[in-house]
Amino acid sequence: MFKHAIVRKPGENFAEGLTTSDLGTPDYKMMMDQHNAYVITLQSLGLEVHILQPLAQYPDAYFVEDVAVVTPEIAVITNPGARERAGEVRHIEPILSSFRSIASIESPGTLDGGDVMQAGDHFYIGVSERTNEEGAKQLGQILNRYGYQWETVSVSGGLHLKSAVSYVGRNTLLISESLANLRPFANFEKILVDADETYAANSLLVNERIIMPDGFPRTREKLRTVGFNIIELETSEMRKMDGGLSCMSLRF
């Protein structure tokens, strides 16, 4: 069960961040409304939410998941694969160090937290445009010290591994068809996300509830049919910035 979450408020210049989306110009007020709803939801599920202030020099910094990987034993500060985001890590370490011992990914390794999916004591690390083999290896070696297993997964499409797959408990993955047949995921039950609802694959398991983006009715019905309890949140503005629900918090 998660007890804490760390989030960072989006800055007024959040729309200047990195994105490949063509969904239109993000709106700051709408973004703040959606971010506030996200925080309230985490609080309603029993988490103490630690809210950090915006970093004007880093418009993507509210995607805090990318700058750390947190387990019960250790917080690993990442080395983001986008050069523009590298400076964010020094701003997350102070608060994490009040909860966990700290380890770090060092160059030439790169690692984004969005490429790291935990399922029980096993970690799946996406090798993507943002995370390289060296970064994955460094994280894996740190995790091994605490009894975790790990393996890499090649990410051929989408920004991060968790853009297309989420662990939702019960040995089950919410997963896009592009990843469903990969060997690392062979022993999981799978809920396939339709091609036109791939964005919904980035959903979030928090204390026995699934937080999923609003507007994906077939995915919602598939989850409900097998008994998952769902909360839907509007994510239009973060989606315009290539972000999803998991991106906006560190949960531990």
Structure tokens at 202: 């980035």
What pLDDT, on the 0 to 100 scale, is given for residue 180? 96
Q: Is the pLDDT of residue 175 over 90?
A: yes
Domains of the chain, earliest start first: 4-251 (3.75.10.10)
Helix (H, G, I), strand (E, B) or coil at 104: strand
CA distance 161 to 116: 7
**Measured CA distances, 68 to 97, 134, 183 (Å):** 11, 16, 26
> Three-class SS string for 194-213?
CHHHHHHHCCEEECCEEEEE
Mean pLDDT of the 34-40 span: 98
Given 4, 35, 91, 160, the catalytic residue: 160
What pLDDT, on the 0 to 100 scale, is given for residue 89? 98
Specify whether 247 is catalytic: yes
pLDDT digits (tens, 9 = 90+) for 183-202: 999 999 999 999 999 999 99
Structure tokens at 215: 């507007």
- Supply the DSSP symbol for 29: H
- Supply the DSSP symbol for 111: B
- Asked whether 96 and 89 are in contact (CB, 8 A), the reply is no
Specify whether 4 is catalytic: no
Mean pLDDT of the 134-152 span: 98
